[in-house]
Structures are given as C-alpha cells and as structure tokens.
Chain A
Amino acid sequence: MPKQIDRLGDPVRRISRRAMLAGTAGAFGTATLPFGKAHARQQDRPNVPDDPTKVQGRDASELGTRSQFEQVRRSAGRSSSQTPHQDLDGIITPSDLHYERHHGGIPEIDPDRHSLLIHGMVERDTMFTVADLKRFPSRSVIHFMECSGNGGRSYRNRRTEDVTPQQVDGLTSTSEWTGVPLATLMREVGVDPEASWILAEGGDAAVMTRSIPMGKVMDDALIAYGQNGEALRPEQGYPIRLFLPGWEGSASVKWIRRIEVGDEAFMTREETSKYTDPLPDGTARQFSFTMDTKSIITFPAYPDTLPERGWWEMSGLAWSGRGRISRVEISTDGGQSWSDAELQGPVLPICHTRFRAAFNWQGDETVVLSRATDETGYVQPTLDELIAVRGIGTRYHHNHIRGCRIRPNGSTVFTVDA
C-alpha cells in the first residue's frame, strides 16, 4: 500500500508546485523568477530527449547538481532563510537548504587565519587553530537544530491560512555534525572546577555572544567543523561553530572564536532583551534553552490539492530537544480522536523523526493534525493550552499542535484549530 500511495502523492506534489510557479510568473513576470527560467508552462520545461535510452548521457562532473526539474529553494530574507520541508523526504536536510539565522550577516573567514581562544577560569589560556581542533578525537552526531522563533507566525495569528510548512516552520533542520566535544577542550585547558558558565563569542559582525551553563558544555556540546560529511557551510559557521544538541539555535554560536570561562552568566543582550520569554505572571523566563516537543505535517499542506478522494499518506516531522520521539498521533477530525502514526526509522534522540500515516479522504471538510510525545512523556500541547501557560505575548518556543484543513474541493490551508 505505501508504494501505491507514493505513486498517487508524487504527481500531485509536482502539479501543485507547478501551479505555484505559474502564479509567481503571473505576478512578477518571468524575468524576475529566482529560478532563471520559468518552468511554469509545459513548453518552457527543460528540453530533454524523448527517449533517454537512445542517446548517450552527459559526462561525469566534479560537482553534482540537482536535476533541472527540481527547484527546491530556501525562502530568504536578509537575516534568515527557511528550509522547504514540503519538498523534502527523510530526516536529513541538504546542507544548502539548512535554515539560516544570523545577527550580523555571513562573515568571510579564512580558516587558516581563524582561531579559537579559551581563557578565563582555566589553568592554561589557550589558542587553538582549526587544524589543532581537527586533531582531537572527533565525534559525529545527527541532530536537529531549531530557531526558538520558529512557528511564531502561527502563534500570534491563529487565522493565518495561506502559509506553507516552509513559511511557518522552516527554521528547523537536521544535519550530521562533526567536531570535537567541548568537554575534551575543557580538559585540555584545565577548567576550574568552580567554573559554572562559559561565554561563547562569534567572529562575525555581531560578535554574537551567549552564556552557556557548564553542565551542557561538559555533557554534549560540540565545536563542529563538519556538516553532512563536508566542511560547514559559511552560513552555518564556517570554519567552526558551537553546536548544542536540542537547544535553541541562537545559543549554538557560529564562527566561534572565543570562549571565556566564568562562574556567572554574562547577561549579554541576546539572553536578556532577546531570547527571553515574558510570562503571564509578570516575569520573564531566561535561559529557556531546550526546544520542546513538536511535530509538523509536511504533506498534505498548503498549497497542496488532493485531486480525488481515497487513500492518501500523510507525512511529517517530529522532534524533541529532550530525547527521542516515542509517539506521533494523527487526527483527521480536528483533534476529537487520535491514532498512532508510523515512525520511520531511524528514530534518533534530539533529531527530526519522519512519521507517516495513511488516511482515507472521503471528500468532506477535514482537519488533519499531528501530536508528538517524547520519551520524557511530554505531549505536544494545543495552541490554547500553550497560550494559557505562556501568554500571547511570548515570541519564542511555539510548539503547539498544527496541521491543515482539507476543503471539499481538495484544496488545503494551514490551521492551528485543534
């Protein structure tokens, strides 16, 4: 059955994507299309042989590219870009589609002239070159990273309907990260047992700074230089970045050049005036690092259209900053009843986990939702439940239940109505 569903689903996705492109072309003219050529109309599609078995294919190349028929793109503003989750399968985000968020642009850094300084409450103030860092025993881990502002547009305006998974939740991505455990470096410099915080500082124009508690530093923090088997992309911190599994992305300081070890939080702008969460009781939560359990449906989702009734396969991603996803449930009646989705392996801790669930659409107005549970027992809340504890004014950590409304004509819109 899954194969049959895949065959049904696949052409629909292409149709809807083409429809989107046609709309773009109509609005802006073909000259401004970001894809170079308008692929909207059939006659404009790339010219390929009628029968590829009757001509020799092209030669090997030094650098691969996507098929000219695949036009996946991040959506990008000046200081952030979003992963097109509606166009991706599996759990790994291609490196060039990993979301971005930066606070002073992407710096151009020569790795041979970049160093990491560790100083403060240590026995030996030490300067490490990138080559030094790569000489230490390395570790590779597969983890998601999510911006704590992800999903914000579905929190403040619950009537937002014409938004894609990319537009709502594109600030999360999963990669394999390779680097040296920060604990190894702390032992190398002789960290003072009384030290309780570090300041991580970037070498970008924002000279980005965040305070990180020593517990996380010694637990699983990484100074990463690799992403999905190659060097970090510049927008991901080339040549080195901090990586903190399961924590809000802004704490994983990119282009890191300095770590100061201390015994108090440093109270930088990014952890006081930004990235704090005012609560309904008149306080503001600070150092709210961990990303709570969340799931999103990537198909069906706006602007997909189901062309006919029958069996379809819902697909999506679930993740938790605290460990493994233990369960994803789906509802096809707006949250009145729930049933288990299938978790597609590998199910890794602190990682995007793909889920799938077949459903039989009978042409009725249908609200499909997903709800994730992690191994600590945390259950993804509804928007109303989240607002009750956090208040409507909060700007970060928007992990409420969401999904889509399928209209009788098969068109879909985003919804948070659980």
Chain B
Amino acid sequence: MRVATPRSAGVWTAVAVVIVASAAIAAQQDQPERFGFGRPATEAEIAAWDIDVTPDGTGLPPGGGTAVEGRSIYVEKCEICHGAHGEGRPFSQLVGREPRQGFPFGNQPSLVRTIGNYWPFAPTLYDYTFRTMPFDEPGTLEPDEVYALTAFLLYLNDIVAEDDVIDANTLPRVQMPARDKFVGDNRRGGRELR
C-alpha cells in the first residue's frame, strides 16, 4: 500500500511564503512541494523497462526450462566465452564449488568466485543473464532460454538436478551455497580500522 507524503513541509513552506514574500531570499524559500515537471509514465513504458528480478522472485516472467534444454543454448551462445563446462576461458568462470567447506575468499586471493561458491541468490542469475547476455547481442534472450540457461548453470554447479524445471516458482526456492555469507558494512570512519 502506498502512503501519502506528509504535508507538513508544504504547510510550513506556505507560512514561510506569507512571512517573507517580499524579502530578497523569497525566491529560494517559496519553492513548491512539486514543480509539475515530467509526465505520467504509462504501464506499457514501465513494463518495457522494468526487467529486474529480486531474490524473492518478483519480476520473474512466465516460462521455464531445464538444464537439458539449457545445454544446447549454452553451446550455441555462451561456450565461446565461458568454456564448454563454464570453466571461464577466455572470460568469466561460471562453475566451481570449491572449497566445499567454509568461505575463505578473504584469505585466498587465488580462489575464483563463481556462481556455485559466491553468488547468494539464484534469481540474480536470471536477472543478469537476461539483461546483459550474450555479450555480443545483449538483451536478446527469450525468458524460456534464460530459464534453461539458469537451470544449466545451476546444474553444472551441482545445485539442481539435470531435469529440474526452473521457473518463477522454483527459482526463488533454490538455496545457493553462499546464501548466508554476506554481512552489512560496519565501517563508520573515526579511529577504528575495519
């Protein structure tokens, strides 16, 4: 539910206008709450751009796919950059679960961060693949293709089974190995180094 913006600021602005209307600084103080610039966005305009997918699955479209389906799409559109098994040559490595225990990235600079060992949320994989890939034709994949590729990459990372259907219902429920590893920023300035 949307809650109305408090009006008190507007009231005080109006009072201020009355008091100082003739003062030289009035031009700075009597700015309205709204200027009325811009125009209402249409639902179609919002739908065309609103492509983000959040961890709870909000934004996931209809459709679905499995790793079996994703394999052929991957071979056609992804393998040239990411390698036959997602090993990441010449570009980003996508697959890897090592180390199975712990999360020692802070102490091991050589450890490669992958979907399997570092990504906390599975829906992010859909979001990023849909908005940016393939690199030479960004944003051209259909939802079913993205679901299938997501399923294939999760399968290569030993997170889902080869015939699991990945869709708007199942993807948010996929538990990523790095799910609980992230913490907020506790740096605050001052003398303490964090």
A positions within 8 Å CB-CB of B: 104, 117, 119, 121-129, 132-133, 135-137, 156, 187-194, 199, 201, 205-207, 209, 257-258, 260, 262, 264, 266-269, 272-273, 276-290, 292, 322-323, 374, 376-379, 381, 385-386, 389-394
Contact = CB atoms under 8 A, between A and B. Distances in A.
Contact of B185 (A194, A290, A376): A290
B139 A127 contact: no
B191 A393 contact: no
28 contacts: A104-B138, A126-B38, A126-B40, A127-B39, A128-B37, A132-B38, A136-B37, A187-B33, A192-B5, A193-B3, A201-B49, A205-B132, A207-B131, A207-B132, A266-B52, A268-B127, A269-B119, A269-B124, A273-B124, A278-B106, A284-B103, A285-B186, A287-B184, A377-B190, A378-B189, A389-B193, A392-B109, A393-B109
B5 A190 contact: yes
Contacts of B109: 156, 392-393
A370 to B, nearest CB: 17
Contacts of A287: 184-185
A391 B131 contact: no
B185 A285 contact: yes
B182 A284 contact: yes
B5 A187 contact: yes
A272 B124 contact: yes
Contacts of A267: 54-55, 120-121, 124
B41 interface: yes
B46 A117 contact: yes
A260 to B, nearest CB: 7
A272 B121 contact: yes
> Which among B50, B104, B187 has the highest number of chain A CB atoms within 10 Å?
B187
B35 interface: yes
A164 B138 CA distance: 36
A86 B191 CA distance: 30
Q: How large is the interface on B (under 10, 10 to 19, 20 to 34, 35 or more residues)?
A: 35 or more
Contacts of A262: 54
Given A269-B124, A278-B105, A287-B185, A121 B2 contact: yes
B50 A258 contact: yes
B190 to A, nearest CB: 5
Contact of A124 (B40, B51, B54, B118): B40
B118 A393 contact: no
Nearest to A374: B189
A267 B178 CA distance: 13
The listed residue with most A CB atoms (<10 A of its CB), out of B46, B139, B189, is B189
Interface of B: 2-6, 31, 33-35, 37-41, 45-46, 49-52, 54-55, 102-109, 111, 113, 115, 118-121, 124, 127-128, 131-132, 138-139, 178, 181-187, 189-191, 193-194
Chain B contact residues, majority secondary structure:
loop
A249 B102 CA distance: 30
Contacts of B132: 104, 205-207
B193 A284 contact: no
B182 A276 contact: yes
A381 B185 CA distance: 18
A321 B119 CA distance: 28
Contact of A391 (B34, B49, B55, B107): B107
B105 A286 contact: no
A178 to B, nearest CB: 17
Contact of B46 (A125, A132, A393): A125
Contacts of A285: 182-186
A284 B105 contact: yes
Contacts of B49: 117, 201, 257-258
A133 B35 CA distance: 11
Contacts of B31: 137
A245 B183 CA distance: 23
A391 B131 CA distance: 33
A201 B51 CA distance: 10
A277 B105 CA distance: 9
B183 A283 contact: yes
Nearest to A386: B193
Nearest to A376: B189
9 A-B pairs with least C-beta separation: A391-B106, A278-B105, A376-B189, A269-B128, A278-B106, A128-B38, A207-B131, A125-B41, A126-B38
B120 A272 contact: yes
B104 A376 contact: no
Contacts of A288: 185, 187
A260 B37 contact: no
Contacts of B139: 205, 207
Contact of A273 (B5, B45, B118): B118
Contacts of A128: 37-38
